[in-house]
Amino acid sequence: MTANILPIYEPIIHGRMYYAFPLCLIDASDRHAQSWIMSRFVQLQSHTLAQVEQTGIAELRFANADHPACYTDAFEVEQVSMDGMTQSDITSYIRKAITLHQYAYIYVDKFYVADNPFSAKKHVVQESLIYGDEDGKFHILGFNRNRRFDKSVVSHSDIAHGFLNSATSSIYFLRPKAFHQSAFDLMDSREQLNQYLLSQNANVDYVGEPRHERAFGLQVYASLQQSIRNLADRKELAVPNIAYLHILAEHKKLMHKRLQGFHGHGVALASESMLQYQAYEKQLMKLRNDLIKYEANHKVAILQQIDDSLRIIAQSEKQCLMGFLDCIPC
């Protein structure tokens, strides 16, 4: 059987599959694509403090980025219902889509799919991205058995069986659009950063719960701090909080890259702010690693240290952004 493998690129961030998959389909070395990436992933969202007290966790994530429908500005997104289809039907549909240069964004029960942390161990429904077809197997992206974001090769039947047991009915097929604009939009970026600073969100094009039920921008720090404090009584919630700290660190990584664009346009304080965001990224990755240690030893002092550090980082980032934005003319 002739191999049919679509191109995949190294994503600039990959802590969560919902944003890693779209970024894997874009060549970030292309200046047009760079401008698109820098215009996205500015805003953060989380549960409100009241919701964290009820649910125990912050649900911190990038805003307007956690579903294929969020990326229609960069991809042709086709949602196809698979209701009533057999394993063979599903396999055939995906294989045909790949020949049409479409990537399959599919939700599967990872219990039935090889080479992932939950294979034959636990029923967990997560995303997979299918980008190739060869000799009765699909080439997919996701977190492998070693919890590394990487490529894997799994059987057609694994994917079809995993999908049929996922309680989802649709597969999303993505095809990248051409990027036609490469100019760095200074004013748009400034407005997005200001929304983040003020913990507001003017974007009406989102997928998910009503906007009033979420916290945005710098407010997510308070929600995450409460989520961390809850671990003293809810140790089983350590894993999602590790992910939240990773997301927060990757947000600072992108902020550093974004400020490079401002620096290229001669904005004062851009260079100084870039150094600040590099420091935030390193600090947050350390906090993530500290929480991994807590997962093993359950020392409450670690939670207090993370809580205190998040409060300090939030205050510092607020001052950094206020000073930086004051240097950009409205």
Strands (E) in 16-169, as ranges, are: 44-47, 61-62, 75-81, 103-109, 125-134, 137-143, 149-155
52: pLDDT strictly greater than 70? yes
Give the residue among 131, 77, 140, 71 at the shortest CA–CA distance from 99: 131
Secondary structure of residue 199 in the 3-state scheme: coil
Are 166 and 236 members of one domain? no
207: pLDDT strictly greater than 60? no
286: pLDDT strictly greater than 50? yes
74: pLDDT strictly greater than 80? yes
Are 220 and 213 in contact, with CB atoms under 8 Å apart? no
Are 320 and 191 members of one domain? yes
Are 192 and 55 members of one domain? yes
Q: Is residue 236 included in any domain, yes or no? A: yes
| Lowest-confidence segment of 46-60, 120-134, 258-272, 295-309 by average pLDDT | 258-272
Residue that terminates a domain, selected from 110, 143, 176: 176
- In 236-248, which positions are buried (b, 16+ CB within 10 angstroms) versus exposed (e)? ebbeebbbbbbbb
pLDDT, position 324: 87
**Domain limits at 137?**
75-176
Are 161 and 187 members of one domain? no
Task: Summarize the confidence of residues 96-118 as an average pLDDT.
Answer: 95
161: pLDDT strictly greater than 90? yes
Secondary structure of residue 78 in the 3-state scheme: strand
Residue that terminates a domain, selected from 142, 176, 210: 176
Are 225 and 301 members of one domain? yes
Q: Is residue 20 included in any domain, yes or no? A: no
Are 46 and 189 members of one domain? yes
Are 249 and 152 members of one domain? no
Are 44 and 81 members of one domain? no
pLDDT, position 322: 93
75: pLDDT strictly greater than 60? yes
Alpha helices per DSSP H over 198-269: 219-229, 238-264
The CATH number that applies at residue 141 is 3.90.70.10
pLDDT, position 303: 98
Task: Summarize the confidence of residues 66-91 as an average pLDDT.
Answer: 95
Task: Summarize the confidence of residues 182-188 as an average pLDDT.
Answer: 74
pLDDT, position 182: 61
**pLDDT > 70 in the chain, percent:** 95
Residue that terminates a domain, selected from 133, 160, 176: 176
213: pLDDT strictly greater than 50? yes
Tens-digit pLDDT profile for residues 234-244:
999 999 999 99
Task: Summarize the confidence of residues 18-29 as an average pLDDT.
Answer: 93
Q: Is residue 287 included in any domain, yes or no? A: yes
pLDDT, position 34: 86
Q: Is residue 1 included in any domain, yes or no? A: no
| Higher pLDDT among residues 266 and 209, named by residue | 266
Give the residue among 173, 178, 161 at the shortest CA–CA distance from 131: 173
**What tokens appear for 9 in the block?**
């690129």
**What tokens appear for 68 in the block?**
């294929």
Are 57 and 199 members of one domain? yes
Q: Is residue 70 included in any domain, yes or no? A: no
| Lowest-confidence segment of 134-143, 246-255, 259-268, 315-324 by average pLDDT | 259-268
> CA–CA separation, 121 vs 124, rounded Å?
9
Band of residue 68 on the pLDDT scale cut at 50, 70, 90 = very high
What's the structural domain count of the chain?
2
Q: Is residue 250 included in any domain, yes or no? A: yes
**CA 140 distance to own-chain centroid:** 17
In the chain the first and final C-alpha atoms are separated, in Å, by: 59
Are 257 and 322 members of one domain? yes
204: pLDDT strictly greater than 50? no
Band of residue 111 on the pLDDT scale cut at 50, 70, 90 = very high
pLDDT, position 210: 57
299: pLDDT strictly greater than 60? yes
Question: For the whole model, what pTM was predicted?
Answer: 0.91
CB-based contacts of 149, cutoff 8 Å, min separation 6? 14, 17, 20, 141, 142, 143
Task: Summarize the confidence of residues 282-300 as an average pLDDT.
Answer: 96
Q: Is residue 3 included in any domain, yes or no? A: no
Q: Is residue 101 included in any domain, yes or no? A: yes
288: pLDDT strictly greater than 70? yes
Are 89 and 165 members of one domain? yes
Residue in the structure block whose two tokens are 């720090």? 221
Are 214 and 170 members of one domain? no
Band of residue 254 on the pLDDT scale cut at 50, 70, 90 = very high
